[in-house]
């Protein structure tokens, strides 16, 4: 594929949506790579929110990019390029979901309003400067906890929640991507937020009793260290004579 040269005053990262689309329409592979790297996470999350399967979500995103490449010449900038791509990806994911209906029955998608808190905190932890293996393990546990509970959301709420909370899309952008009314996005997102809070709270509450646990390795370690120190400071005790017995 031919690649159009970028002039010094118009680097790939500075291209507007229209300019980027025009270069891709002209078969510019550099612009295409920029497009994919810029939007991969957004599109993957959107697809996975529908398919709940990592491999199928990746394949859906790949097919969506191929569709976009062949039709990007029609892009006129009426919506953000990210929104245009997300709609293509969601349609591809829904088509796949219908294809695999026996495995996963997809309900109509509606919307809702709010909770970026958990996702934002997770993102901040990932970007902390120095992280120990223990911290990384804890962050991975938190991430899995969030992902597991997002997957448990009703199918009617999950895509809306991912686009609003994780990708921080506006209500208008989310409504456009999912082809639903903005009021529906607000109401359903609000309900998804409540369900996430309740689910996370239940999991946290169920683990209160296990906090600062002292059994197992930690208990053994303390006991062994104390006994080891005593063994070096205290002479072995002589056999104890039972009461009433005299030494001979």
> What is the distance between the alpha carbons of residues 21 and 198, in angstroms, rounded to a whole number?
43
- How confident is the model over 55-104, as pLDDT tens digits? 899 999 999 999 999 999 999 888 899 999 999 999 999 998 888 764 44
Upper half-sphere CA count for residue 222 (Cβ side, 13 Å): 5
Note whether 45 and 61 are within 8 A (CB): no
Q: What is the largest CA-CA distance in the chain?
A: 110
Burial 216-228 (b: 16+ CB within 10 A, else e): eeeeeeeeeeeee
Query: 3-state DSSP call for residue 222?
Result: helix
- Alpha-carbon dihedral sign for residues 30, 31, 35, 38: positive
> What is the distance between the alpha carbons of residues 44 and 155, in angstroms, rounded to a whole number?
16
- How confident is the model over 13-40, as pLDDT tens digits? 678 899 999 999 998 888 889 899 989 9
> What is the distance between the alpha carbons of residues 195 and 156, in angstroms, rounded to a whole number?
13
Residue 190 confidence class, pLDDT cut points 50, 70, 90: very high
Domains and CATH numbers, the chain: 1-104 (1.10.1740.10), 107-208 (1.10.10.10)
DSSP state of 213: -
Upper half-sphere CA count for residue 5 (Cβ side, 13 Å): 3
pLDDT number for residue 221: 75
Task: Work out the mean pLDDT of the chain and round it to a whole number.
Answer: 77
DSSP string, 31-55: HHHHHHHHHHHHHHHHHHHHH--HH
Tokens 């612009």, located at residue: 31
Q: Which residues neighbour 116 within 8 Å (Cβ) at sequence distance 6 or greater?
A: 164, 165, 166, 168
Can you list the alpha helix ranges (DSSP code H) found in the chain?
17-25, 29-51, 54-71, 81-99, 117-126, 133-151, 155-161, 171-178, 182-205, 217-233
- How confident is the model over 132-149, as pLDDT tens digits? 677 777 778 888 888 888
- Residue 109 CB neighbours (<10 A): 21
Q: Could you tell me which residue, 45 or 10, shows the higher pLDDT? A: 45
- How confident is the model over 152-177, as pLDDT tens digits? 899 889 999 999 998 889 999 999 99
Note whether 136 and 147 are within 8 A (CB): no
Task: State mean pLDDT over 227-239.
Answer: 64
């Amino acid at each position: 594929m031919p690649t159009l040269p970028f002039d010094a005053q118009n680097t790939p990262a500075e291209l507007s949506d229209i300019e980027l689309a025009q270069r891709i329409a002209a078969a510019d592979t550099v612009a295409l790579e920029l497009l994919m790297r810029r939007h991969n996470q957004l599109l993957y999350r959107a697809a996975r929110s529908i398919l709940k399967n990592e491999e199928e979500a990746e394949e859906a995103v790949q097919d969506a990019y191929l569709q976009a490449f062949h039709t990007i010449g029609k892009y006129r900038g009426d919506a953000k390029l990210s929104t245009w791509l997300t709609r293509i990806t969601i349609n591809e994911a829904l088509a796949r979901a219908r294809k695999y209906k026996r495995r996963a029955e997809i309900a109509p998608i509606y919307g809702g309003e709010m909770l970026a808190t958990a996702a934002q905190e997770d993102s901040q932890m990932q970007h902390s400067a120095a992280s120990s293996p223990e911290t990384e393990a804890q962050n991975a546990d938190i991430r899995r906890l969030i992902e597991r509970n997002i997957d448990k959301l009703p199918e009617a709420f999950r895509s809306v929640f991912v686009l609003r909370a994780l990708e921080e899309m506006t209500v208008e952008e989310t409504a456009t991507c999912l082809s639903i009314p903005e009021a529906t996005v607000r109401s359903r997102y609000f309900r998804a937020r409540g369900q996430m809070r309740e689910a996370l709270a239940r999991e946290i509450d169920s683990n209160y009793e296990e906090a600062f646990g002292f059994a197992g390795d930690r208990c053994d370690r303390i006991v062994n260290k104390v006994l080891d120190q005593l063994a070096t400071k205290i002479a072995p005790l002589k056999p104890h004579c039972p009461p009433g017995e005299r030494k001979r």
